[in-house]
Every structure is written in C-alpha cells, then in structure tokens.
Structure 1
Amino acid sequence: MMRILADLPDEDIAWLDSHAAEQGKSRAAVIRDAITAYRSRQKDWLEQGFGLWTRYGQGADGAEYEAEIRKAWDTGEIS
C-alpha cells in the first residue's frame, strides 16, 4: 500500500475526525472506504445507462438508424 499526502481544509479534517471516531476507524480507513465507494459508483453509471432506451421500448439497431438517416439526407428530408 502506498502512502499519500493530501491537504484538506480544517473543517474537512474536523468532519473526518468526527466521522472516524463515530465508526471507530482511523482517518486513513475512512478515506480508503470513501475511495472504494466512489470507485464502485463510477462503474455503476455505465451499467445503469447501458441499454437504457431499449428498456423503455426505444431501442434501435445502430446500422438501421444510420441507413434511415442517410436515406433521409439523400432525399432531402433533413438537411
């Protein structure tokens, strides 16, 4: 495990100390937990959004959509 040095405002340190004391953890453990939670949420957004429109009946095949748009462009329906 690597150590890091981070500058935090005094009010954040006070909150961190209070939160760590409530949980019976060290500052470092609370920060590690926070980073782990943040990283897991970063992965979740892709899973939550993937196929979103298909779930609501709005899915379309990408190649079909492209062909329709190109046809509309060629016929002047869109510019």
Structure 2
Amino acid sequence: MRTLIDITERQVQALEDIAKAEKLSRAAVIRAAIDDYVLRHRRAEGDNAFGLWGEHAVDGLEYQEKVRSEW
C-alpha cells in the first residue's frame, strides 16, 4: 500500500543517512521504523499484565504455597 506523508527536511536527511549507511532504500528504512514503532506500542499495551497470571483469582503467594504443598 502506498501512503503520502509530510516530513521535514531534517527527517528526510536523517532517513537518507540511515539508508546509505545500511545500504537500503529510504522506503525500506521507513517500513522498518514503522515496524519498530508498532512493536514497541503493542509491547507497551501488554504491560498491564504479567504473563498468563491474569486468569488466576488467588494471589501469588497463596498459589505458590498450594503448588509446593503438592510436592
């Protein structure tokens, strides 16, 4: 998909510098930057929970003691 955006000359130059250093096209650098942004944003959304623990109603210590008592 193509899209049209407005960016500053400073941003264009920074993209050109990165593209030249990485031997990529400017479009590839922009796609990589968008991928990175989306990944960081999605990761931040998931910070409200720790692993799969949200399914458990008991607190962590209670669960730990219950599991260890089964050994």
Q: Structure 2: any 5+ residue segments left out of the alignment?
A: 60-71
How far is 1:47 from its partner?
2.4
Task: Go from structure 1 to structure 2 and tell me whether the alpha carbon gap of 1:23 and 1:48 turns closer, same or farther (over 3 Å shift).
Answer: same
Moved more, 2-11 or 26-35: 2-11
Alignment root-mean-square deviation, CA: 2.0
Q: Percent identity at matched positions?
A: 32
Amino acid at match of 2:48: G
SS at match of 1:25: coil
Query: Aligned partners of 1:23 and 1:12: how far apart in 2?
Result: 16
TM-score of the aligned structures, taking structure 2 as reference length: 0.64
Matches of residues 1-79 of structure 1 in structure 2 within 5 Å? 2-51=1-50
Q: Structure 1: any 5+ residue segments left out of the alignment?
A: 61-79
Q: Which whole-Å deviations, capped at 9, do the CAs of 1:26-55 have from their partners, x for residues lacking one?
A: 11000000111111111111322314xx8x
Query: Aligned partners of 1:18 and 1:27: how far apart in 2?
Result: 9
If asked which structure has higher relative contact order (CA below 8 Å, sep 6+), I would say 2
When Rg is computed on C-alpha atoms for both structures, the one with the higher figure is: 1
Runs of 4 or more above 3 Å deviation: none
Aligned length: 53
Amino acid at match of 1:40: L
